Amino acid sequence: MVSINKPTIVPVEKYSKFSPLDREKYLHNIIKEILETNPQGVTASTIERNTSFSRRVVEKHLEMFVGTNQAYKIPIGPSIVYYPNERGMHPLHQEEFKINDKTYGLYLVENLFGKFLYIQEKKQQEFAGPEIMGGIMIPIEKVNDFVSFLSDVIKKAEKFEK
């Protein structure tokens, strides 16, 4: 069995008694920590074999991380390997700004494909930490093109307001 870095996992008998919401949060956080502490990449089947989590649950959470650009995946042969996007959550540079109840983080990150500007939307939960709502990654060499595009969109929108 391939060994991976993983946190201490409570027995299934214990977390199965959590409320559905707490169980989902627990699984999400554990799988996220596994992903972040294995920058060399992990597969869903490796996580499944090293935890008591079903493959369906593992894949669901890994795909959620891919969907919010917290991770990326690369097919290697018949397997899909998942990698954390933020080098174990240590971006090269970061800035944040707030708009109403949302925080937007701008991170300079690097992965196997190069350097990127990662823009992440987070919303503060009432009794928990921030929840990642989504994100986009722009190759660093295309950031100026992206800013020009946004500027053009704003100019067009202003014309419609008049």
Domains, the chain: 1-84 (1.10.10.10), 91-162 (3.10.450.700)
Percent share of the chain, pLDDT over 70: 93
pLDDT digit string, tens, across residues 85-133: 865 345 678 889 999 888 998 988 887 778 889 898 888 777 666 778 8
Q: What is the mean pLDDT of residues 13-40?
A: 92
Distance separating alpha carbons of residues 73 and 85, to the nearest angstrom: 10
pLDDT digit string, tens, across residues 35-63: 999 988 999 999 999 998 999 999 999 99
Q: Angle, to 10 degrees, between the axis of helix 20-36 and the axis of helix 55-67?
A: 70
1 pLDDT above the threshold of 70? no
Task: Output the CA–CA distances (angstroms, integers) from residue 44 to 4, 64, 82, 83, 115, in the order listed.
Answer: 12, 13, 8, 11, 26
Confidence of residue 33 (pLDDT cuts 50, 70, 90): very high
Nearest to 63 by CA among 111, 86, 31, 37: 31
Mean per-residue pLDDT of the chain: 88
Q: Between 91 and 137, where is the model more confident? A: 137
Tokens 């169980």 locate to: 23
Confidence of residue 22 (pLDDT cuts 50, 70, 90): very high
Alpha carbon dihedral 21, 26, 27, 31, in 10-degree steps, equals 140
Distance separating alpha carbons of residues 82 and 41, to the nearest angstrom: 5
Distance separating alpha carbons of residues 156 and 109, to the nearest angstrom: 31
Distance separating alpha carbons of residues 44 and 58, to the nearest angstrom: 6
Tokens of 21: 């919401």
